[in-house]
Amino acid sequence: MPEEAPTKRERTRQAILDAAYNLIVRQGYAATSMRQVAEGAGLALGGIYNHFASKEEVFRAIIEDRHPFYQIVPILNSVEGETVEEFVRNAAHTMVAELGHHPDFLNLMLTEIVEFKGEHVPLLFERMFPMIMPLAQRITSLDGDMRQIPPPVLMRAFLGMFFSFYITEILIGRAMPKDMQFNALDYFVDIFLHGILVGRN
């Protein structure tokens, strides 16, 4: 029923969000001015205020309906694998690749934490929790003996491990010796699956 013709009003609103989004992920919130947003949206400065009450309102709208989280996490649900090992390996590669397709994600996330003290994180998490938990259920139902780990802890460890992999890959990738980069993702997967120790556990 919807999806037909986005009204003019709606199109301008989206143009503003587009412009603001691109500026904010590049320079942060405080360093982005309403004049830049206006120019990016092809609008006069005052025109923005017909759509948003304030600068902060623009940012809130971005967090609420443009956060890349909402695109990245669902991707994990489409990951395949018969065994736990296979699944984890695929999921790790998929997630890191997907993060690579959304370089904005990191910037937006950090901007929110730094400039808004992470006040939107609970909202983000509330939305993401229902997306993430089915994944945990799926993993525990796959072939392969898994240690008894509470599913939330499992998911947190998975996301944390490979998210940190991605961040460090970006941040220090070029500053580091080559041997720290090569195939590092597969090492991470192995550690996550089997630990750093050899032998029974």
DSSP string covering 59-81, please? HHHHHHHH-THHHHHHHHTT---
Taking the CA atoms of residue 138, residue 140, residue 145 and residue 146 in that order, the dihedral angle to the nearest 10 degrees is 130
| Interface with DNA, residue 34, by CB under 7 A | yes
Tokens of 106: 């990191």
Does 119 contact a second copy by CB under 8 A? Answer: no
Determine, following the binding rule CB under 7 A, whether residue 153 of this chain makes contact with DNA.
no
Instruction: For the segment 41-100, give every residue that binds DNA (CB under 7 A).
Output: 42-47, 49-51, 53-56
Contact status: 56 vs a second copy (CB under 8 A): no
Return the one option of DNA, a second copy, none that residue 165 interacts with (CB less than 5 to 8 A, by type): a second copy
112, 118 contact by CB (below 8 A) = yes
The rounded distance, in Å, linking the Cα atoms of 81 and 84 is: 7
Cβ 115 to DNA shortest distance, Å:
12
Segment near a second copy (CB under 8 A), from 5-13, 38-46, 95-103, 165-173?
165-173
- Classify 195 in phi/psi space as left (phi over 0), alpha (psi -120 to 50) or beta: left
- For residue 98, what are its two tokens? 């997907």
Residue numbers at the binding site for a second copy (CB under 8 A): 28, 30-31, 84-85, 88, 107, 110-111, 113-115, 118, 121-122, 125-126, 144-147, 149-150, 152-154, 156-157, 159-161, 163-165, 167-168, 171-172, 174-177, 179-180, 184, 187-188, 190-201
